[in-house]
Amino acid sequence: MVLDELNPTVDLELLPVEPIVQALLQKPRDTEIIITGRCHKPHADHDLASVHSEVYCHKHYGDRGVEFKRGVDF
């Protein structure tokens, strides 16, 4: 299960972390959890995830005026 951009929603207090933790504690054992999004501080749900990732773009061809690619950039 991919919880895309969950980190910023917790950082911005749009969702409280405790109900997320409780839900993850009840997930089936063989269900993998992937949490994404930039985060300012670690949350308790990170320990329960199979994968936690943040993506930073340090260089992008779009910065040089190259057209964005469907399926890659959007």
Residue-range definition of the domain harbouring residue 48: 2-64
| Residue 45 is assigned to a structural domain of this protein | yes
What are phi and psi for residue 42, nearest 5 degrees? -60, 140
Answer whether residue 74 is part of any domain: no
DSSP characters over 32-71: --EEES--SS--GGGGG-SEEE----S--GGGGTPPP-TT
The model scores a pTM over 0.75: no
The answer to the question of residue 16 being in a domain is yes
Does the residue 71 lie in any domain?
no
Tell whether 15 is covered by a domain. yes
Written as tens digits, the pLDDT of the chain (74 aa) is 999 999 999 999 999 999 999 999 999 989 999 998 888 888 888 888 888 888 777 788 888 888 888 877 77
Please tell me the total count of domains within the chain.
1
Answer yes or no: is 9 within a domain: yes
